[in-house]
Amino acid sequence: MERDSILQVYFKESPTTAVGEQIKALNLSEPQMAALRQIINGALTDMCYTLLLGIDGATSFGNLGQKQFQLLDEDGNLLTDGELEAAASEVFGESQ
């Protein structure tokens, strides 16, 4: 949902972000705009998927190497337990 929200903000008719302003300044045709949207969607999908896998310990996370992290809510309850990889594959596999 966050990826889709970011895309909507970037491609608004009246941009409210620097990225949105840069996209609008390109003055692209509708087919070009659709192609750019698809490219940015792919880049955001790759980034989100990689971040989730990194948190889960399924891939290297920046220069930290491959480690499993724990996500906790404000009360200290564990939100993940090495299960992000499967969920991320399911969600992002369906969106590509």
On the question of pLDDT at 7 being above 90, the answer is yes
d(CA 34, CA 76): 43
Give the tens place of pLDDT for each residue, 13-32: 999 999 999 999 999 999 99
Per-residue model confidence (pLDDT) at position 94: 54
Asked if 95 and 42 count as a contact pair (C-beta separation under 8 A), the reply is no
The number of folded domains in the chain is 1
Give the tens place of pLDDT for each residue, 38-70: 999 999 999 888 888 888 777 777 777 777 777
Domain membership of residue 6 as a residue range: 2-95
The structure's pTM equals 0.75
On the question of pLDDT at 96 being above 50, the answer is no
Closest CA to 11 of 70, 1, 28, 50: 28
Q: Which residues partner with 72 through β-bridges? A: 78
